[in-house]
């Protein structure tokens, strides 16, 4: 097994991100590794938008992204303590390409991703992300299940 020096946790949504970041923190401490937390902002509306005839879905989406970015920062701060090296990245673009690029740029050894089923809206906006990413990455991938509700 290769040394794990750089771990990346993909924070795809706030609901599942806390558990992925917790695993990242735990593994980074265990292996004395650096943790990179990545949030990908995907714009399903494209550069020109959809030009829909009702109240701007695009504006609501931008507000959700802003809230997600703030929540991610709070999650990282809450979980990463004790001198752990954490690098927080927010990138815009198509998730599969962005994640692959960051894995290569940051020389990631282990990628952590949420193992939830994508709902219809996620599938429409982002496609089947987990399956596509796993097949294309040059590093090992650990899918993190969300803890079962009490």
Q: What per-residue confidence (pLDDT) applies to 121? A: 46
What confidence tens digit (pLDDT) does each residue in 19-62 have?
A: 888 899 999 999 999 999 998 877 665 554 444 554 566 677 67
Report the share of the chain in percent with pLDDT over 90.
21
Return d(Cα 138, Cα 150) in angstroms, integer: 37
Instruction: Give the global pTM.
Output: 0.74
Domain that residue 119 falls in? 6-144
User: Could you tell me the two tokens for 130?
Assistant: 């987990």
Residue 27 covered by a domain? yes
Residue 140 covered by a domain? yes
Kindly list the distances between the CA atom of residue 109 and the CA atoms of 2, 18, 35, 36, 102, in Å, as whole numbers in the listed order: 8, 21, 11, 11, 12
Collapse the DSSP code of 30 into the 3-class scheme (helix H, G, I; strand E, B; otherwise coil) and give the result: helix
CATH number of the domain encompassing residue 74: 3.40.50.620
Q: What per-residue confidence (pLDDT) applies to 125? A: 44
Residue 60 covered by a domain? yes
Residue 118 confidence (pLDDT) above 60:
no
Q: What per-residue confidence (pLDDT) applies to 123? A: 47
Question: Into how many domains does the chain fold?
Answer: 1
């Amino acid at each position: 097994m290769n040394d794990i020096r750089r771990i990346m946790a993909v924070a795809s949504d706030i609901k599942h991100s806390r558990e992925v970041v917790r695993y990242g923190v735990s593994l980074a401490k265990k292996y004395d590794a650096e943790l990179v937390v990545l949030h990908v902002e995907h714009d399903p509306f494209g550069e020109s938008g959809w030009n829909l005839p009702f109240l701007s879905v695009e504006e609501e989406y931008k507000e959700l992204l802003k809230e997600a970015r703030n929540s991610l920062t709070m999650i990282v701060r809450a979980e990463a303590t004790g001198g752990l090296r954490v690098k927080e990245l927010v990138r815009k673009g198509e998730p599969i390409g962005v994640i692959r690029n960051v894995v290569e740029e940051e020389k990631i050894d282990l990628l952590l991703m949420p193992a939830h089923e994508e709902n219809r809206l996620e599938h429409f906006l982002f496609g089947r992300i987990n399956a596509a990413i796993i097949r294309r990455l040059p590093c090992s991938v650990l899918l993190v299940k969300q803890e079962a509700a009490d």
